[in-house]
Chain A
């Protein structure tokens, strides 16, 4: 009886005569440690930035690319950061916002192929069961897809709250509007998101 099970890696030919399996370039040495502040930001805010970006773009891969880009830009501009103007999180989210806008603009400009084959689960696998995971993944996809059908302003505010985890006050500061306006807009955006998700479920 043969049990079919996934193999860990394709093994077609023996690894003949390769002195080193890893072929990544060797680091040339030098000071590799990031500035302590920046390291702390990275630890504290990387996931927030990722979540914010993931809310706005179609796939996990793109979200990761943009997140990398955001931190790379932040590192380059690190010495120009002015704590009196913005908290690190707000500053990073501002860079992220621009990076997402650039990405979306570039997509529009080149009318790029939108391959909707993103089957990469967004969830980590510590959830209870396979079924539960699938259900949650579907729901997450449906929320994200629904969110992308909204207008830009709605997407913006939802991603700042639920992706970036900003409070109403912080959103108000980021967008340059009043806290009251944030509350109203959030309410409306939520309502529209609900409609979008419900209608796409009905159309299935």
Chain B
């Protein structure tokens, strides 16, 4: 609650706003309990530091000299990261303390001129320009002053990064541009001159542009802001992190070992560690002064010390004790040096003292960011990264702890011994998971008590550290990965995409950045772009690793031909699109699993690739730090992992390991939800005999589902795809239909070699497809004489009885249910003898329980419903037969219509229309020969 004020309500507000006003006034927002004392301690330390440096005689002298120099030559401020500004500022502030030392300055009015020599006129826009007429130098005013400081200490690095021409970066060309800036009384850079070239014209120009974006705290004289000249050096550093192709010419830093062993074999890409050389030198510098030679030699090489690793043959416990002592001494002697903190923190971590390690990394980070000495952004990044890692270790030990009360299982009917009171232990849970998964599932649903919030502060602290690392040095590979994985966990795909792009930009396309970009794009429904990024990522990786990530071996049924060329083709959910969304989904999963679990070989990764993200993960912790995780995929027993608390990877429980062997049969491979949607299109399919021997002609009818018609689209893409035996597309017909069409109908002549026909509607605007896949051959009787499948149609209005005309006028039955008084059927009869045959048509409805209900029918040419013998009206081949059927007597239910045509009282040809629903439970549409039709599973 507020401490120093009690706000009055705002008078005259309407009741709802008054309520909000009161709520806001009473809002509780508290800092961490430890925040106030921590900050107070920091403030006191700062105050003590300032007071503990009274100006000594030489210091006053130097300060006065410095100030005078400034006044004569104009202000000279080296790059903001250097300590001079801070130092001078402090000196001047110390001088302003009660001792009341006053530095006499030559007088200057509000418009001092720059007299720094020599001033080279800047080259702007290709031509030489004169210095604009700045106010002349007239010394006036005596008094105290403060000099300009950058508002953002890292601003110079940032603007340089923004304005650094890309081709110069790639060429490794850098340099320092010396500039003279006129910083006006608002702190803005009003005018820029070049005072020292970098040696590259383009860099000089970039520097001139970049400097205009700098913002300062303005100079003050006697507390009043004023304009002044500032000398400023802007450095463009070529990226050292990424070496593409041949190594660049010698740089300041010798080449260093790879940061990530996993990338060591990546062709053309080397990621150097952020800091090793710099940290080693900083450490070396202080230890040589503070520690005697004998101890130093016992401690071994600096690299080992920095990593917390004793030299071979040394007793690690003794070594760590001695190293700790030496480093603590270094910390006291040189408190602004971050390297001893880094080394000491790593040793503490190896000793299992993660809390101490975290604090030490934090101290190191504070020193590095304080800027008392020039510390590279990479070292800052590495400290932040280490801090985040050590936080994560403790967080993983905490994550997901919860309890299940024993009573939740006690009453359940399961052969596993009933538990007593208290909480269920992990061993019992495993037993229940395999013996009675459903009971356990229900108990977890209703009685599981997560220890909500435990570890949440660690999560935030961890992410803040990683983010800090990335901000300090955007090319930090591991920190980028951690942040991106966190975004993926949150399913913040757009943020993931942005982050992955920044990562790619900073590292010039690190393969991981490509993979994460692909994951994000895929989830955003942009599968083509996603595939492109995956391909580029794979291309930049070790070929063997890339092959593993691409290989669908984890998905194939056991014993399936591993070299099947058309493995993905058969699984393509949307034939209209150029990419195979399932293949892209696979890449997205393998990429994620590789980055999350460290390797596709890990149990958790294998499960993730095959089944995707679990619907839920529940975790139980144990005192030993081993957690047990239950991955719940909705049905079937959960998959159980044992995971040591501090690792990301999890190993399947022994029971689950055995179960994994059967996994392919227990749980089918799941594709999960694709970013693009594809649904089954219920359709009515009738097979007629084709013109070619062995070929089928399909008549496919479907109603256009409302879901696929978006308000923006006035048309839909329609496609008819003919698939070969391996699911490959052999032929296709594409067209566009108006989105207003309520139904679609296609006649598809399937020739030899065609095993399936797919009818698909695709709306690219909303990324949704509906499709139906039908077998090309099944269901047509090729014996002689034969009958086709029957097509259920709307009864025709009385009119021309010519059967060809009937077929042409037929409108398929696309209503959702078999409702109404009358329906009609069309069938074809083949290979009939060329004589007038007496025949009769019988139609029966077969109910779900097998009951046969005869229906009255009226074949074409008949005047009333009945079961009479008639003569076939024509002997041409094939004969199209039409009959109306009285369906009104049927009670609600699910039916198959059986059509039997008896010829000459000898032969009966039978065909069926299946899956018809009548009455209130009309959930499905009339579909034909459902067993043969393969729609896509709804929602996968």
- A1-B421, A75-B46 are contacts. A117–B459 as well, Cβ < 8 Å? yes
- A4 to B487 alpha-carbon distance, docked (Å): 30
The chain A residue sitting closest to B2, CB to CB, is A165
Minimum distance in angstroms from B217 CB to a CB of chain A: 10
Query: Is there contact, CB below 8 Å, between B502 and A15?
Result: no
Asked whether A128 is an interface residue with its Cβ less than 8 Å from the other chain, the reply is no
A-chain residues with CB within 8 Å of residue B460 when the two chains form the complex: 59-61, 117-120
- A54 to B29 alpha-carbon distance, docked (Å): 8
- A13 to B624 alpha-carbon distance, docked (Å): 11
Q: Mark A54-92, 1 if CB is under 8 A from B, else 0.
A: 110001110110011001100110011000000001000
Asked whether A108 is an interface residue with its Cβ less than 8 Å from the other chain, the reply is no
Query: Is there contact, CB below 8 Å, between B152 and A165?
Result: no
* A169-191 with Cβ < 8 A to chain B: 183, 186-187, 190-191
A-chain residues with CB within 8 Å of residue B353 when the two chains form the complex: 15, 18, 21
- A12 to B352 alpha-carbon distance, docked (Å): 6
Asked whether B463 is an interface residue with its Cβ less than 8 Å from the other chain, the reply is yes
The chain B residue sitting closest to A27, CB to CB, is B45
Minimum distance in angstroms from B226 CB to a CB of chain A: 15
The chain A residue sitting closest to B97, CB to CB, is A79
The interface-forming segment of B234-242, B275-283, B490-498, B928-936 is: B490-498
A-chain residues with CB within 8 Å of residue B50 when the two chains form the complex: 76
- A27-B45, A194-B17 are contacts. A162–B25 as well, Cβ < 8 Å? yes
Query: Is there contact, CB below 8 Å, between A10 and B25?
Result: no
Minimum distance in angstroms from A40 CB to a CB of chain B: 11
Query: Is there contact, CB below 8 Å, between A4 and B321?
Result: no
- A145 to B393 alpha-carbon distance, docked (Å): 30
- A6-B401, A112-B467, A165-B4 are contacts. A71–B423 as well, Cβ < 8 Å? no
* B1-19 with Cβ < 8 A to chain A: 2-5, 7-8, 10, 13, 16-17
B-chain residues with CB within 8 Å of residue A75 when the two chains form the complex: 43, 46-47
Asked whether A23 is an interface residue with its Cβ less than 8 Å from the other chain, the reply is yes
- A113-B499, A117-B486, A123-B30 are contacts. A12–B317 as well, Cβ < 8 Å? no
* A100-121 with Cβ < 8 A to chain B: 102, 106, 109-121
How many residues on the B side are at the interface (Cβ–Cβ under 8 A)?
Answer: 111
- A48-B4, A71-B43, A102-B152 are contacts. A17–B29 as well, Cβ < 8 Å? no
The chain B residue sitting closest to A20, CB to CB, is B328
- A34-B44, A46-B36, A60-B32 are contacts. A13–B351 as well, Cβ < 8 Å? yes
- How many A residues are at the interface, by size bracket? 35 or more
Minimum distance in angstroms from B286 CB to a CB of chain A: 13
Query: Is there contact, CB below 8 Å, between A32 and B420?
Result: no
Q: Mark A1-45, 1 if CB is under 8 A from B, else 0.
A: 111111101111111111111111111101111110010001011
The chain A residue sitting closest to B401, CB to CB, is A6
Minimum distance in angstroms from B349 CB to a CB of chain A: 10
Query: Is there contact, CB below 8 Å, between A113 and B470?
Result: yes
A-chain residues with CB within 8 Å of residue B317 when the two chains form the complex: 16-17
Interface centre among A7, A19, A113 (most CB of B within 10 A): A113
Main secondary structure of the interface of B (DSSP, over half): helix
Interface centre among A15, A27, A110 (most CB of B within 10 A): A110
Question: Which residue of the partner chain, among A51, A55, A61, contacts B461 with CB atoms under 8 Å?
Answer: A61
- A110 to B213 alpha-carbon distance, docked (Å): 13
- A6-B401, A10-B354, A114-B495 are contacts. A33–B471 as well, Cβ < 8 Å? no
Asked whether A136 is an interface residue with its Cβ less than 8 Å from the other chain, the reply is yes
- A46 to B421 alpha-carbon distance, docked (Å): 48
- A165 to B24 alpha-carbon distance, docked (Å): 11
Asked whether B828 is an interface residue with its Cβ less than 8 Å from the other chain, the reply is no
Query: Is there contact, CB below 8 Å, between B422 and A116?
Result: no
Asked whether A94 is an interface residue with its Cβ less than 8 Å from the other chain, the reply is no
The chain B residue sitting closest to A9, CB to CB, is B355
- A80-B223, A120-B457 are contacts. A25–B352 as well, Cβ < 8 Å? no
- A44 to B4 alpha-carbon distance, docked (Å): 6
Asked whether B318 is an interface residue with its Cβ less than 8 Å from the other chain, the reply is yes
- A10 to B392 alpha-carbon distance, docked (Å): 12
Q: Mark B460-494, 1 if CB is under 8 A from A, else 0.
A: 11011001001100000000000100110010100
Query: Is there contact, CB below 8 Å, between A68 and B39?
Result: yes
A-chain residues with CB within 8 Å of residue B47 when the two chains form the complex: 31-35, 75
A-chain residues with CB within 8 Å of residue B33 when the two chains form the complex: 124
Question: Which residue of the partner chain, among B3, B356, B451, contacts A21 with CB atoms under 8 Å?
Answer: B356
Asked whether B244 is an interface residue with its Cβ less than 8 Å from the other chain, the reply is no
Query: Is there contact, CB below 8 Å, between A15 and B351?
Result: yes
- A67-B39, A113-B483 are contacts. A44–B423 as well, Cβ < 8 Å? no
Minimum distance in angstroms from A201 CB to a CB of chain B: 13
- A54 to B30 alpha-carbon distance, docked (Å): 9
- A34 to B40 alpha-carbon distance, docked (Å): 9
Minimum distance in angstroms from A38 CB to a CB of chain B: 8
* A127-174 with Cβ < 8 A to chain B: 127, 130, 134, 136, 139-140, 143, 158, 161-163, 165-167
Query: Is there contact, CB below 8 Å, between A19 and B325?
Result: yes
- A4-B402, A23-B328, A112-B467 are contacts. A50–B44 as well, Cβ < 8 Å? no
Query: Is there contact, CB below 8 Å, between B2 and A23?
Result: no
Q: Mark B69-96, 1 if CB is under 8 A from A, else 0.
A: 0000000000000000000000001001
A-chain residues with CB within 8 Å of residue B502 when the two chains form the complex: 111, 113
A-chain residues with CB within 8 Å of residue B645 when the two chains form the complex: 10
Asked whether B331 is an interface residue with its Cβ less than 8 Å from the other chain, the reply is yes
Query: Is there contact, CB below 8 Å, between B30 and A161?
Result: no
- A38 to B43 alpha-carbon distance, docked (Å): 10
A-chain residues with CB within 8 Å of residue B104 when the two chains form the complex: none
Minimum distance in angstroms from A15 CB to a CB of chain B: 6
A-chain residues with CB within 8 Å of residue B352 when the two chains form the complex: 10-15
Query: Is there contact, CB below 8 Å, between A51 and B51?
Result: no
- A2 to B419 alpha-carbon distance, docked (Å): 12
Minimum distance in angstroms from B416 CB to a CB of chain A: 15
A-chain residues with CB within 8 Å of residue B23 when the two chains form the complex: 139, 143
- A72 to B43 alpha-carbon distance, docked (Å): 6
The interface-forming segment of B615-623, B870-878, B904-912 is: B615-623
Question: Which residue of the partner chain, among A25, A30, A163, A193, contacts B51 with CB atoms under 8 Å?
Answer: A30
B-chain residues with CB within 8 Å of residue A113 when the two chains form the complex: 467, 470, 483, 487, 495, 498-499, 502
Query: Is there contact, CB below 8 Å, between A25 and B331?
Result: yes
Question: Which residue of the partner chain, among B8, B52, B355, B622, contacts A2 with CB atoms under 8 Å?
Answer: B622
- A6 to B625 alpha-carbon distance, docked (Å): 10
- A7 to B158 alpha-carbon distance, docked (Å): 43
Minimum distance in angstroms from A158 CB to a CB of chain B: 7
- A24-B359, A64-B32 are contacts. A115–B423 as well, Cβ < 8 Å? no
Query: Is there contact, CB below 8 Å, between A44 and B421?
Result: no
17 A-B residue pairings within 8 Å (CB atoms): A4-B622, A10-B354, A18-B324, A28-B52, A50-B31, A61-B460, A71-B43, A75-B46, A76-B93, A106-B152, A110-B158, A113-B467, A116-B490, A118-B460, A120-B456, A163-B29, A194-B17
Give 20 A-B pairs besides A21-B353, A71-B43, A166-B5 with Cβ atoms closer than 8 angstroms: A4-B423, A5-B401, A10-B352, A15-B353, A17-B318, A23-B331, A30-B52, A33-B47, A64-B32, A71-B39, A115-B487, A117-B460, A117-B463, A120-B456, A130-B452, A140-B29, A143-B24, A165-B2, A167-B7, A194-B16
| Interchain residue pairs A-B with the least CB separation, the first 10 | A13-B352, A165-B5, A2-B425, A119-B456, A1-B422, A162-B24, A30-B52, A17-B321, A32-B44, A10-B397
